[in-house]
Structure 1
Amino acid sequence: MDRVSAEAGVSKQTIYSHFRDKEGLFKALIERLTIACFESVFNLENLPGEPAILLRQVGEFYLTKVAENPDYVGLLRLIITESQSFPELAKLYTQTVVQRGRQILVKYFECHPELSIADPEAMAHIFFGSLNSYVIVQEILYGNEVMFLSRDRLLNTLINVVMSQSLA
């Protein structure tokens, strides 16, 4: 908190008056970098649209607006780096970002029985997990320099996996 207050140019008391503790500050940071950004484009309570189009929009938004944000990539790098020493930060990220995103997509899949998805929770995990894995491998682990995979190729294949359930 000393470093945060020094960087912000305010007293530690000012930081604590806005955020009860480090966890509150971290939650606010996560929301600012991920959830609020996503909510500004998508109505998370009622995702409208034809599945293939909506899934592409969600994937493209995440890969361009969220994952290309240097602050988000830095935050993800920090969470991974510090997860062993501060497991509560990793758990908080998982609860506020990963779990929330999965729940929203599960609800969407459940509202679209024409997709014939037998396990909406597992499919939502596969969808968001693939997007997160792409960001980690390509951006954080420098996979874009070693084994480049285009975003379009990933999204096309990922959407085909989801949509193929309705053909089975």
Structure 2
Amino acid sequence: MNAPSRLTDRKRSAIVAAAAEQFRSHGFEATSMDRIAALAGVSKRTVYNHFPSKEELFEETLVQLFQSCAGMVELAYRRDRGLREQLVELMTLKMRTLAERDFLDLARVAVAEAIHAPERALPVFARLGEREEGVTAWIRAAQADGRLKPGDPTFAATLLQGQIKAFAFWPQVAMGAPPLDPAEQEPVVDAAVSMFLSYFAVERSVSGAAEP
């Protein structure tokens, strides 16, 4: 009974994988649904059954790739650990996510589309923003615990992650800079966390642990 469903899932995955390769190699405009169908080993009709338009397929491709990379950035807030310790771990995982070359390649395509056709790229970036909820959820929990100042957790998360992206995302996407190696990542994470805590932290000591 479940075989057709599994087959459908396999076809969908094959389509997304083929689309990712084509978009990375040729960009959005030069990629055709015919070529994606051929690479995925399915009919063009099957591609359109899953994705009514190339725009929707591109959106799903980028979001799935980001989600597969970002799944690790889901550390739950813990009140028995120091804020700095948790944030350094969280932002280090964020760095690793942003260093994925496949994601960076597709992100370049998405940014190019945002310049030439913002109405097409807007839904993509909106969905990517939703996938960054892990950091926002952590901040929201720390605020509820009284260890971070109250306020909009999305605003706070954007400020924190923006400092990381300034070194580990935008230079790589916009200028082709290489991803940061671990030794280069460490001072960026340390500075970003320090600046964040200097403004948002309420307590400086919890359970004997130095804060921030």
Structure 1 and Structure 2 fold alike (TM over 0.5): yes
- CA displacement at 1:155 relative to structure 2: 0.5
Please say if residues 73 and 140 of structure 1, whose CA atoms lie closer than 8 Å, have aligned partners that are also in contact. Answer: no
Unmatched 5+ residue regions in structure 2? 1-32, 204-212
- Structure 1 pair 123/63, CA: closer, same or farther in 2 (3 Å)? same
Task: Indicate the RMSD between aligned Cα atoms, in angstroms.
Answer: 2.8
- CA displacement at 1:31 relative to structure 2: 3.0
Percent identical residues: 22
Q: Which amino acid aligns with 1:31?
A: V
State the TM-score, normalizing by the size of structure 2.
Answer: 0.63
Distance, in Å, in 1 between the alignment partners of 2:152 and 2:122 is 24
Q: What is aligned with 2:70?
A: 38
Task: Return the index of the structure with the highest Cα Rg.
Answer: 2
- CA displacement at 1:80 relative to structure 2: 1.1
Please say if residues 117 and 123 of structure 1, whose CA atoms lie closer than 8 Å, have aligned partners that are also in contact. Answer: no
Distance, in Å, in 2 between the alignment partners of 1:150 and 1:138 is 14
Please say if residues 110 and 121 of structure 2, whose CA atoms lie closer than 8 Å, have aligned partners that are also in contact. Answer: yes
Matched length: 160
Q: What is aligned with 1:111?
A: 141
Distance, in Å, in 2 between the alignment partners of 1:5 and 1:144 is 32
Unmatched 5+ residue regions in structure 1? none
* TM-superposition CA deviations, 1:113-163 (whole Å, max 9, x none): 312254433221112222333212146414459xxx921111001111222
Q: What is aligned with 1:158?
A: 192
Q: Which amino acid aligns with 1:92?
A: P
Q: What is aligned with 1:70?
A: 101
Q: What is aligned with 2:46?
A: 14
Q: Which amino acid aligns with 2:165?
A: N
